[in-house]
């Protein structure tokens, strides 16, 4: 199936009557990087541990690119990749390889649905939030759907179409 450039930007784009449920960004290099990372982790789980090292290397490259682009370790796209890389590094220890299941499932959730658990967890750190930590904030952080329509309008944040922005992940507090 051949897709035109306008067709490939967003598959299953939101319509007036239906909210977007799937997140596919064929024109976004970060979406592809996360997709390749998910596949590499799957290959590693199937018994080829060199794929775990490749996933870690790809994550390191993404972190360096984001650090150069954002010019700050405090930028959320950089924080996500550094934390993800640290997690992959810990998981690489032979006794900890079972931990690879979590980033594998989480990365597929990002690539398919736009749900980034790492962005949500990092959004709770004191320097990333403006609200007081509360049960309501925790519930909102982990249960709100990603704002894929918002991301579709501004894919320039450089993180799978902008999903590394806290606003795209965590619903704002209702008034």
| 79-126 pLDDT per residue, tens | 999 999 999 999 999 899 999 999 999 999 998 888 888 988 998 999
Q: Between residues 123 and 17, which one has the greater pLDDT?
A: 123
Contacts of 156 (CB under 8 A, 6+ apart): 162
Match 């952080």 to its residue by tokens.
141
User: How far is 2 from 143, CA to CA, in rounded Å?
Assistant: 36
- Tell me the whole-structure pTM to 2 decimals: 0.77
- C-alpha distances (whole Å) from 44 to each of 29, 34, 48, 81, 163 are 22, 15, 5, 19, 26
Over 90: is that where the pLDDT of 162 sits?
A: no
Q: Please, what's the b/e burial string for 129-153 (b: 16 or more CB within 10 A of its CB; e: otherwise)?
A: eeeeeeeebeebbeeeebbbeebbe
Over residues 48-83, the pLDDT tens digits come to 999 999 999 999 999 999 899 889 898 888 999 999
Spatial contact of 22 and 112, defined as CB atoms under 8 Å apart: yes
**DSSP symbols for 28-80:** -HHHHHHHHHHHHHHHHHTT-THHHHHHHHHHHHHHHHHHHHH--TTSHHHHH
């Amino acid at each position: 199936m051949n897709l035109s450039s306008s067709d490939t930007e967003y598959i299953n784009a939101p319509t007036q009557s239906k909210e977007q449920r799937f997140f596919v960004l064929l024109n976004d290099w970060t979406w592809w990087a996360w997709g390749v990372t998910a596949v590499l982790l799957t290959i590693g789980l199937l018994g080829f541990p060199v794929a775990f090292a490749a996933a870690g290397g790809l994550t390191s490259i993404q972190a360096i690119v984001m650090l150069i682009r954002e010019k700050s370790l405090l930028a959320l796209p950089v924080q996500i990749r550094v934390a993800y890389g640290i997690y992959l590094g810990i998981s690489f220890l032979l006794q900890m390889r079972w931990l690879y299941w979590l980033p594998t499932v989480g990365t597929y959730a990002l690539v398919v649905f736009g749900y980034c658990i790492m962005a949500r967890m990092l959004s709770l750190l004191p320097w990333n939030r403006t609200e007081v930590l509360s049960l309501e904030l925790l519930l909102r952080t982990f249960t709100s759907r990603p704002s894929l329509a918002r991301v579709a309008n501004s894919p320039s944040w450089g993180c799978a179409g902008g999903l590394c922005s806290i606003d795209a992940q965590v619903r704002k507090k209702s008034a």
